[in-house]
């Protein structure tokens, strides 16, 4: 019989601690080994109980979740799932937590008594199960990045875009993107289209957070956005992002689609990459980073065969989950496999040299 995975529940609400604990203990794979009502107690319990997974509320007295996470990931890293509110403030805080190293998040329903509904319980247990398999916690790049608060989307035509960089990522992606986009120079004649598996309401906060850290402009993609150099477009949650040629100019623009999920994902990396492949452009760089499953592999194959794209894959050592890059690497289409800290340099080199 398999040993049960140990879970530590940290929340300042006694009601939430009980609800979450009951859900976890209802599954034969897990056991709640302890609870804590603030970050300071959570750090002590982590040291004492050595849990396999931690669920973490962010808004807590004494030491909040972000403060605890910052200390934890530097001293005793564990897979952490953040419990998030379905609000703009909750989304912003969740993105900060993912940037600090949380592996995933769960949104509380607006009606807290719906936590016990079967669909929500199944969702929570699946997230905990996947988190329990994570044992890799890449170190963060500690370089201080100048914050850029006032930026405009460039008005220069898309013909000045020397390369289109298409990036796909999932679990661990927000932190990985934080290790790449801030290190791309704004003068580089490239634009960036990005799929990060994430539900609605969070991709805008992710784009805003990355925009404050980066020289390039980072925005949540909108329908009919024209591709411009120095701009990164992140697919909004629950929409596929496709790249198409404008019918009345040489521009390429973004089309958002609510067509059915592909491989369980909307947005899907494959949908984005396949649309790029159909443009017949030969100036594409594909980047595949940390994530569960194999979304992006089919699209990268098409880009390699049809468009002779240059493919960059994140290495296993620096991935939170070596799933999506593994599929690309094992298919033999990756031109280079590098740590997350080198991906920005590889992109710059590919744009300037290739």
Tokens of 329: 């690497």
Tokens of 332: 């033999």
Specify whether 265 is catalytic: no
Nearest C-alpha neighbor of 169 from the set 23, 41, 273, 13:
273
Tell me the three state secondary structure of residue 37: coil
Plot region of 46 (φ>0 → left; ψ -120 to 50 → alpha; else → beta): alpha
**SS percent in the chain: helix, strand, coil, step 5:** 35, 20, 40
Q: Which of 11, 27, 225, 295 is catalytic?
A: 295
How many angstroms separate the CA atoms of 318 and 270, rounded?
23
Helix 65-75 vs helix 88-100: angle between axes, to the nearest 10 degrees?
A: 10
302 within 8 A of 278, measured Cβ to Cβ: no
**In this structure, what DSSP letter does residue 133 have?**
T
Q: Which of 57, 197, 268, 294 is catalytic?
A: 197
Place of tokens 């290190």: 183
Tokens of 309: 């794209």
Tell me the three state secondary structure of residue 104: strand
Tell me the three state secondary structure of residue 20: helix
Q: Which of 21, 84, 158, 170 is catalytic?
A: 170
How many angstroms separate the CA atoms of 318 and 290, rounded?
8
Specify whether 258 is catalytic: no
How many angstroms separate the CA atoms of 247 and 188, rounded?
27
Place of tokens 């910052």: 70
Sequence-separated (6 or more) residues with CB below 8 Å from residue 81: 53, 54, 55, 56, 102, 103, 104, 105, 106, 127, 128, 131
DSSP string, 267-309: S-HHHHHHHHHTTT-S-EEEEE-SBSS-TTHHHHHHHHHHH--
The set of catalytic residues is 170, 197, 295
């Amino acid at each position: 019989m398999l040993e049960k995975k140990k879970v530590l529940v940290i929340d300042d609400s006694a009601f939430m601690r009980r609800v979450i604990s009951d859900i976890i203990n209802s599954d034969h794979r897990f056991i709640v080994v302890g609870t804590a009502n603030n970050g300071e107690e959570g750090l002590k319990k982590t040291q004492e109980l050595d849990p396999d997974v931690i669920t973490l509320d962010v808004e807590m007295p004494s030491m909040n979740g972000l403060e605890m996470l910052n200390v934890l990931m530097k001293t005793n890293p564990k897979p952490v799932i953040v419990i998030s509110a379905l609000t703009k403030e909750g989304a912003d805080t969740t993105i900060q937590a993912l940037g600090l190293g949380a592996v995933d998040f769960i949104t509380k329903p607006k009606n807290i008594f719906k936590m016990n509904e079967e669909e929500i319980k199944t969702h929570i247990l699946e997230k905990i199960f996947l988190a329990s398999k994570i044992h890799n916690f890449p170190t963060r790049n500690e370089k201080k990045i100048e914050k850029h608060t006032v930026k405009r989307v460039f008005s220069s035509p898309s013909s000045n875009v020397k390369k289109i960089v298409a990036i796909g990522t999932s679990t661990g992606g927000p932190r990985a993107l934080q290790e790449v986009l801030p290190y791309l120079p704004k003068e580089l004649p490239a634009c960036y289209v990005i799929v990060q598996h994430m539900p609605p309401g969070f991709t805008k906060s992710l784009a805003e957070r990355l925009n404050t850290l980066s020289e390039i402009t980072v925005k949540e993609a909108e329908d009919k956005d024209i591709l411009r150099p120095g701009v990164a477009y992140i697919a909004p949650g629950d929409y596929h992002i496709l790249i198409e040629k404008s019918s009345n100019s040489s521009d390429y623009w973004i089309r958002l689609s609510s067509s059915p999920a592909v491989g369980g994902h909307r947005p899907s990396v494959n949908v984005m990459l396949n649309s790029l492949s159909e443009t017949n452009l030969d100036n594409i760089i594909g980047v595949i980073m940390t994530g569960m499953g194999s979304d992006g592999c089919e699209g990268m194959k098409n880009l390699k065969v049809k468009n002779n794209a240059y493919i960059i894959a994140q290495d296993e050592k620096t991935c939170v989950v070596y799933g999506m890059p593994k599929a690309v690497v094992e298919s033999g289409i990756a031109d280079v496999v590098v740590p997350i800290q080198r991906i920005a340099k590889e992109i710059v080199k590919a744009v300037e040299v290739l």
